[in-house]
Structures are given as structure tokens and as C-alpha cells.
């Protein structure tokens, strides 16, 4: 294929770039900011889309953030593409902070306790829940007995507190993203329209000057006619 890499990336390179992009996260965020500002839509709709994407990043729906961002953008009547770009607020650098804060707040709101010494096993609980899901799916077609222990622990200790505790920070971060991005996007679009208008006026003036008798074309013709 034309656009296929000459040297395919190794698994380690793919994993490394997922955690740290080739140009670094600052460059990635600059690219996202550039793409958001150039979206052809109303600044308020774009800002609502960004807010929806940021809010979705505070949910424990890992692997489904794009889908949840699209649904949230539809609910608030925001730009869908902006919501997808907004989910990049959740990344390997910010997710650990978001997870710990959300679960601490969630356990407090639910009246349970969050054992900070056990937060390192969060990944293990995700894997355990996945293992139960996979086993139970196979059990539907075999004589195996369904297992729910890992799923039960995951729901009570991770998912539910994360879901409940992520609501308030997610709403706050989404609101901040809206109020910060809307005026920036509006100012950029206004500046871009003015720049395009000025460029169009210059081009129209140049074409008008060429079309008039004695303009650039006429002056060039007279100059050549006057030569011996």
C-alpha cells in the first residue's frame, strides 16, 4: 500500500508512543488546540463539544471514552469532533491523578473507605474483572460455572466509587474547558475571517487593476510598443 510504513513499528514502539507521543505531549496538545480552533462551527458548539470530551475523561469507561464523549456532545448539542479531541485531556499522564482523586471522593460520598496502600492494585482489579467477564462468556457455551467475585470487588471498590467521584471533578473540568475555550475560539475565528477578508480584498484590487485600461497589462503593453 502507498501509505504503509516502510519499516513497521515494533510492539514496544507502539506501546511507548501510546504513553509518550513521538513529538511529546506538549506538541500533541498544541496540535489539538490548533485543530479545535479551526473547526468550521459556532464557537459555543465547539466549546460545548470540548467540555463534553473533558467530562468523559473523568469516567471509568476506559475504551469507551470516544463513545461516551459523542453521547455527551449530543446531549449538550456540542460539536462531536471537538468532543473527541477533548478526550485527550485524559492520557497516561493525567489518568493516575484523575483515578485516585475520583475514587477518594467517590468512597467519601458513598461512606466507604479508600485504602491508599491498595491503590496500586487498581490495574489488577481491572484485569480480574476482565478475566471474570471472559470466563463467564465461555461458560455460556460450556458446563463451567460463572464467577462473580472479581467483578463484585471491582464494582464496589473501583467502578462505582470512580463513577460517583468522577462526576463533580468532571463537571468542574468540563465547565472550565468551556469557559476557557469559547472566547479563545471566537477570537481566533474573528481574526481568521478578517485575515481572509483582507487577503480577498487585495486579490480583488489586483484583478481590478489588471482589468482596467491602462492597468498593469496595459502599461506593460505600452512599454513594449514604445520600444524600437
Is the predicted pLDDT of residue 40 greater than 90, yes or no?
no
Q: DSSP letters along 15-74, please?
A: HHHHHS-TTHHHHHHHHHHHHHHT-SS-HHHHHHHHHHHHHHTTSS-TT-HHHHHHHHHH
- The cell numbers describing 201, all together, are 480584498
Is the predicted pLDDT of residue 102 greater than 60, yes or no?
yes
Q: How many CB atoms lie within 10 A of CB 12?
A: 8
pTM score, whole prediction: 0.69
Task: Characterize 43-74 residue by residue with b for buried, 16 or more Cβ atoms within 10 angstroms of its Cβ, and e for exposed.
Answer: bbbbbbbbbbbbbbbbbbbeeebeebbbebbe
pLDDT at 149: 86
What mean pLDDT do residues 105-119 have? 78
Which residue carries 464467577 as its cell?
147
**58/164 Cα distance (integer angstroms):** 10
Q: What is the pLDDT of residues 163-189, one digit of tens each?
A: 999 999 999 999 999 999 889 888 887
Is the predicted pLDDT of residue 1 greater than 50, yes or no?
no
What mean pLDDT do residues 34-46 have? 72
- The cell numbers describing 227, all together, are 520600444
Extents of the domains making up the chain: 22-181
Q: What is the pLDDT of residues 68-84, one digit of tens each?
A: 999 999 999 988 888 88
1 against 106, higher pLDDT: 106
Per-residue three-class SS string for 73-95: HHHCCCCHHHHHHHHHHCCCCCH
**86/50 Cα distance (integer angstroms):** 5
Please give the distance of CA 108 from its chain centroid, rounded to a whole number.
29
Considering only 14-18, 26-30, 142-146, which range has the smallest mean pLDDT?
Answer: 14-18
Amino acid at each position: 500500500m502507498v501509505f504503509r510504513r516502510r519499516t513497521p513499528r515494533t510492539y514496544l514502539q507502539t506501546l511507548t508512543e501510546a504513553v509518550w507521543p513521538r513529538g511529546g505531549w506538549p506538541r500533541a496538545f498544541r496540535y489539538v488546540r490548533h485543530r479545535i480552533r479551526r473547526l468550521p462551527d459556532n464557537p459555543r458548539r465547539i466549546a460545548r463539544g470540548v467540555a463534553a470530551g473533558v467530562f468523559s475523561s473523568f469516567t471509568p469507561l476506559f475504551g469507551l471514552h470516544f463513545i461516551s464523549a459523542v453521547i455527551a456532545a449530543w446531549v449538550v448539542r456540542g460539536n462531536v469532533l471537538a468532543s473527541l479531541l477533548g478526550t485527550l485531556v485524559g492520557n497516561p499522564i493525567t489518568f493516575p491523578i484523575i483515578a485516585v482523586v475520583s475514587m477518594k471522593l467517590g468512597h467519601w460520598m458513598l461512606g466507604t473507605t479508600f485504602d491508599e496502600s491498595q491503590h496500586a492494585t487498581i490495574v489488577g482489579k481491572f484485569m480480574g474483572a476482565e478475566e471474570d467477564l471472559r470466563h463467564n462468556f465461555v461458560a455460556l457455551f460450556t458446563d463451567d460455572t460463572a464467577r462473580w467475585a472479581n467483578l463484585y470487588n471491582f464494582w464496589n471498590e473501583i467502578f462505582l466509587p470512580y463513577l460517583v467521584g468522577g462526576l463533580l471533578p468532571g463537571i468542574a473540568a468540563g465547565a472550565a474547558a468551556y469557559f476557557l475555550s469559547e472566547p479563545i475560539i471566537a477570537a481566533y475565528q474573528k481574526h481568521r475571517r478578517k485575515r481572509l477578508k483582507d487577503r480577498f480584498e487585495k486579490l480583488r484590487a489586483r484583478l481590478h487593476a489588471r482589468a482596467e485600461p491602462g492597468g498593469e497589462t496595459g502599461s506593460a503593453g505600452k512599454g513594449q510598443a514604445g520600444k524600437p
